[in-house]
Structure 1
């Protein structure tokens, strides 16, 4: 009997084109748009030397220190500038106006930088000019107190910086914040599965729909019908999530890390979380189906926003200022579980997220059972 109910409930659910669209087609379309938007976002951008000029005036010709520094950083494959020497300031202005250079330096009592717009290249040039003025002033002070220091390679060290901070990665994978958008998309799709769970509870509430009234007068235990229907809904949702994972990985080359088994397990728990959550809300809210849909949609979208699907930094803002909210947000738990599998070598963080999801699944299932089993009708 259970298998019979499961089979026919599965056929009934799979024909709901609207639910299939929102739980399968819509996430695939959204994932495609994400890919189009973020395709080159994480590619390593090659630094191109900045087109810069220096005015060949009297001060420049007689300032060996500045000539050495700017010529030194304008040589080699890792040079900072493609340096051009202008015979006059008028020529340098002409180059700047025709966009042949991003800016030009003029030496004098102090080094001056001339640009006509703001941007990354201009900011780098300003940083160089500020650094040179600081270093030049320091060298002049040292030369007055200890002239021999200039003979020990001080000029060649000008501009060199040493970092004493070492970055240690939490895992062997390369950090990739763009993946968070796709992981939160999968989590949102799992939460959209709550509509399947809502449909199951709605279809056994005789005071909500005519179909539910017929189910309640059938010679089948209501709990058995509900479990069979929920299993059918879970199978459909889990299959949809697997299709979405396959499309993201094989179609869009989204990396989920080497732990394929754990990824599938996470998708299964995410599907169970979605269906149980929808069933719980549907059982808890006694109003019409429209209100239930609105509640599920609002919770899913707010949870997706807080997990960083629309604004990546929001995930870290919540983790920093309201950490408890990160642990009670099902979408964030799923997103974090997928990223933990990708990035961390240890399964500690992944286990924490999975444990919280299991807790919520048990909570939602237990709450749904307690509510549904007590609901009886005087007449149908």
Structure 2
């Protein structure tokens, strides 16, 4: 009997085109839009050489040290400046006025920088000029006290910079801010599965729909019918999430790390979480289907926003200032689980997220059972 109900319930659910659109096609479309909007976001963070100029006057020609430094920082793949040489100050000012350069340097007793606006490029140029002036002043002072310092390799020593702070990452993967948008999208799709769970509970509540009234008149225990229908809904949702994962991975080339088995497990747990959440809300709220859909939509979108799907920094703001909310948000738990698999070598953080999701699933399933099993009807 269970298999019979499962098969026919599966056929009934899969024909609901509206639910199939919102739980499968809508996440795929949204993922495509994310890809078009964010695909070059990391590339834009790559440093580009700054358009700068130097005035090629007599002072610059005689300042061989500064001339050599400017030539060195303007060569190679990782050069600091895209350097242009102006024949005089008027030409450099003309370039600056037309925004062909961010600023220009002039030689003399003190190296001077001229800029028109403020910004990151101008700040870098100022830091470069300040560092050069400091190093030059230091060399002059040392040479005055010890003229033989230049012969002993003083200039080479000044070029040898040492760093005493070592950067240690949490894992072997490179950090990628864009991935959080796609991981939260998958989490949202899993929670959209709550509509399948809501439909199952709605279809066994005789006081809401005519279909549910007929189900309650059938010689089958309604919990058995609910369990068979929930399994059918879970199978549909899990297949939809797998299709979404395959599209993101092979269609949009979104990385999930090297733990495909754990990724599939997370998708399964997320699907169970979504169906159980929808069933619990539907059982808890005794009003019509419209109110239940509104509550599920608000809860899912609020959780998606707090997990960083609309504003990436929101996830980190919540973790920094309201940590309990991060652990009470199922969408954030799913998002964080996917990112932990991608970034961290250890499974500790992943296990914590998975454990919290299991607690939510147990709570939702237990609550749904206690509510549904006690609901009686005086007449149908």
Q: TM-score range by the shorter chain?
A: over 0.9
Are residues 26 and 290 of structure 1, via their aligned partners in 2, closer, same or farther at CA, if it must alter by over 3 Å? Answer: same
Q: Please state how far the C-alpha of 1:153 moved relative to its aligned partner.
A: 3.4
In the alignment, the residues of structure 2 paired with residue 77 and residue 261 of structure 1 have an alpha-carbon distance, to the nearest angstrom, of 40
Shift of 1:211: 1.2
Q: How big is each residue's C-alpha offset from its partner over 1:102-126, in whole Å with a ceiling of 9 and x where there is no partner? A: 3211233432222334444333222
- CA separation in 2, counterparts of 1:82 and 1:278? 58
Alignment TM-score, normalising by the size of structure 2: 0.93
Q: Is the partner of 1:105 in helix, strand or coil?
A: strand
List runs of 5+ in structure 1 lacking aligned partners. none
Give distance in 1, aligned partners of 2:133 and 2:244.
56
Tell me the equivalent position of 1:260: 260
Does the CA contact (< 8 Å) of 1:65 and 1:155 recur in 2?
no
CA offsets per residue over residues 246-296 of structure 1, 9 Å max, x none? 111111111112221111111111000000000001111112212111111
Residues 170-214 of structure 1, C-alpha deviations (whole Å, 9 max, x = no match): 222222221111111000000000011111111111111111111
1:177 maps to 2:200: no
Task: Deviation per CA, 1:134-191: give whole Å up to 9, x if none.
Answer: 3334344444444444444334455664322212222222222211111110000000
**Shift in Å at residue 47 of structure 1?**
4.5
Structure 1 residue aligned with 2:310: 310
* Secondary structure of the corresponding residue to residue 53 of structure 1: strand
> Does 2:335 align with 1:335?
yes
**Alpha-carbon distance change, 369 to 38 in structure 1, aligned in 2, over 3 angstroms:** same
Question: What's the counterpart of residue 345 of structure 1?
Answer: 345
Please, which runs of 5 or more residues in structure 2 have no aligned partner?
none
Q: 1:237 to 1:77 in 2, by over 3 A?
A: closer
Cα separation, 1, equivalents of 2:340 and 2:291: 35
- Matches of 2:5 and 2:364, distance apart in 1: 23
Partner of 1:56: 56
Cα distance in structure 1, aligned partners of 2:201 and 2:94? 75
Tell me the SS of whatever aligns to 1:42. Answer: helix
Matched, 1:295 2:302: no
**Higher mean Cα deviation, 352-361 or 109-118?**
109-118
CA RMSD of aligned residues (A): 2.1
Measured in 2, the distance between the counterparts of 1:323 and 1:149 equals 57
Counterpart for residue 124 of structure 2? 124
The separation in 2 between residues aligned to 1:100 and 1:44, in whole angstroms, is 20
User: Residue 78 of structure 1: CA displacement?
Assistant: 3.5
- Structure 1 pair 253–76 and aligned structure 2 pair: CA distance change class (3 A): closer
- Equivalent runs, 1:106-117 vs 2, <5 Å: 106-117=106-117
Tell me the residue number matched to 1:79.
Answer: 79
Closer, same or farther: CA 145–272 of 1 in aligned 2, 3 Å: same
Mapped to 1, the partners of 2:323 and 2:260 lie a distance apart of 29
Residues 97 and 156 of structure 1, relative CA distance in 2, 3 Å threshold: farther
Distance 1:172-1:79 versus aligned 2 partners, 3 A rule: closer
Query: Which stretch of structure 1 is more off in the superposition, 296-305 or 62-71?
Result: 62-71
* Displacement of 1:223: 0.6
